[in-house]
Structure 1
Amino acid sequence: MMSELIDPVEEENFEEISSDEVDRVVSNLETLAETVESENIRAYLEDAINNIYYLVYDEEDLEDDIAEAA
């Protein structure tokens, strides 16, 4: 039950992130990932892309995007 309560400090630090901003950042990171030679750096960038994407989207959105691209 205690885990269901929202910590007032956490609630104050909540940041609203727009899907437009996420889309822009993901696009820029994808462009950057295409330019790097290091597989390690590319892997970190892909992790960042996924983490940022899931700030506002869920897996169903990703599946929809993939289906639309096909």
Structure 2
Amino acid sequence: MSGTGNNSSMPEPGKPAHRAAQLENEARATWLFAGDCARWGLGYEAARARAEARQLRVRAIMARAGATMESDERNERG
């Protein structure tokens, strides 16, 4: 099976929902990296990575809100 098919469950690239998913994935990876840093005894780096992960999650929430607003506007227009 090729990966060129249209997967309706994935947001369209370039859309706010797609960006939100990307940010959420990046936040998840950064949070895991923070855990590794903490395990290795790198407290400062772990704290910075956790802060970055939180910022990424906030940006994902904002992007998702933008996607919702865009969807609402489309529905109002018909």
Q: Percent identity?
A: 5
Q: Is 1:44 aligned to residue 48 of structure 2?
A: yes
When the two chains are superposed, the root-mean-square deviation of aligned CA atoms in Å is: 2.1
Q: Provide structure 2 residue ranges, at least 5 long, that are not aligned to the other structure.
A: 1-17, 63-78
Number of equivalences:
43
Match of 2:35 in 1: 34
Q: Is 1:20 aligned to residue 21 of structure 2?
A: yes
> Using the alignment, how far apart are the partners of 1:56 and 1:32 within structure 2?
18
Q: Cα deviation per residue 1:19-49 (whole Å; 9 max; x = unaligned)?
A: 1101110111111111112111111001101
Q: Provide structure 1 residue ranges, at least 5 long, that are not aligned to the other structure.
A: 1-16, 59-70
> Using the alignment, how far apart are the partners of 1:20 and 1:26 within structure 2?
10
Q: Is 1:53 aligned to residue 54 of structure 2?
A: no
Larger Rg: 1 or 2?
2
Structure 1 length as normaliser, TM-score? 0.52
Moved segments of 4+, more than 2 Å: none
